[in-house]
Amino acid sequence: MTELPKARGGSGGSSPPEAAEPAPHDQLPTGADGMIVCDRLVRIYSGEGIEVQALQGLDLLIAEGELTALIGAAGSGKSTLMNILAGLDAPTAGTAWVAGRNLSTMTARDRLAYRRSVAGFIWQQTSRNLLPYMTARQNVLLPMRLSSLGLRERRRRAGYLLGTLGIAHCADRTPDRMSGGEQQRAAIATALANQPKVLLADEPTGELDSSTAQDVFSALQTANTELGVTVLVVTHDPAVSSEVRRTIAIRDGKTSSETIRHTATDERGTTTLHAREYATLDRAGRVQLPREMTRRLGMRNRVELQEEPDHIGVWPDQAADHERQ
Ligand code: ADP
Ligand code: MG
């Protein structure tokens, strides 16, 4: 095991070892570059002679305070990524940092502390998030057992969280007496008990109908805006992804594109929502061109690039066309 140099400014993080190839475009990222930083994450599942490359060099950068949705087809690697970020699984290669911590170099003990107070996690299955024989309040109090807060402060925080997320009325109910949406909001309160920096939710609304899903999503928004927690939520729900500023699409174990939404107000005071889609540009300068665009223009194998003052033109390979004629 080699000693890694300390990350700049990061608490307990370390910068990645020197890459074998020089990174031509910019500096290697470190844990100080964002709240969630993934650098070429690879996760290979192997067993019984077959190998699945669930993550294939995934890069991701999420700033502190962002609320980001992650979308992608089934099997694209979303849960694999979330489990790594939650400290439940380790990547085969590459590095992930959350809140300045390098997840690859954490000890088992660091990992426990990480899951208790740095990253809160919410599963899709409502039954997996809460202890069934405890009330909502007891569930929220449970992770605070080891905190330095006194009993009274803990109870006050539990009450505050349940109230802020709109489920004060469920404080003394066990999960079987709560709706699916109320259970997920209690799960969010529980995940927030120890003031984590990040909240990770893997399809938290997947088992709910759309109006209940909206309540759960509002609770995630509240966690983000009122408590300042950085939120990353995997969702299939287009209604959810249209409400967040940033949506990242993951495809075949890599981030492939992202959509940024912003509202603009014109001179008459009318507010409109604008969405703009971007392709991901990786550190080696690679961009994935959407298949619909390349197919229409007959682009294969190679394209011609033309540098313009304010953009780069991408053209079909004209030499190949001449060769064919
Ligand atoms: P998503 O959450 O986007 O649906 P996953 O991250 O669960 O995707 O899975 C990505 C790929 O890895 C899939 O092909 C899946 O079958 C495979 N996979 C996930 N978990 C395991 C595992 N524990 N063992 C083997 N293959 C796995
Ligand atoms: Mg999944």
**Residue 54 CB less than 6 A away from ligand 1:** yes
Same domain, yes or no, for 168 and 228?
A: yes
Q: Which residue range(s) make up the domain with 321? A: 299-325
SS3 166: coil
Residues with Cβ within 8 Å of 153's Cβ and at least 6 positions away in sequence, in order, are: none
The pLDDT, as a whole number, for residue 325 is 63
Measuring from atom 24 of ligand 1, which residue has the nearest CA? 45
Tell me which residues have their CB within 5 A of the ion that is ligand 2: 78-79
Q: pLDDT of 76-105, one tens digit each? A: 999 999 999 999 999 999 999 999 999 988
Q: Which atom of ligand 1 is nearest to the CA of 77?
A: 6
The verdict on residue 281 lying in a domain is no
How many independent structural domains does the chain possess? 2
Same domain, yes or no, for 252 and 143?
A: yes
Q: How far is CA 169 from CA 83, 162, 179, in A?
A: 32, 8, 12
Same domain, yes or no, for 43 and 100?
A: yes
The verdict on residue 185 lying in a domain is yes
Same domain, yes or no, for 173 and 241?
A: yes
The pLDDT, as a whole number, for residue 8 is 39
Which of 231, 260, 289 finishes a domain? Answer: 260
The verdict on residue 194 lying in a domain is yes
**Which of 46, 52, 89, 248 maximizes ligand 1 atoms within 8 Å of its Cβ, making it the mutation to test the pocket?**
52
Distance 38 CA to ligand 1 centre (A): 18
Q: Which amino acid is at 93?
A: A
Same domain, yes or no, for 321 and 240?
A: no
The pLDDT, as a whole number, for residue 54 is 96
**Residue 23 reports pLDDT greater than 60:** no
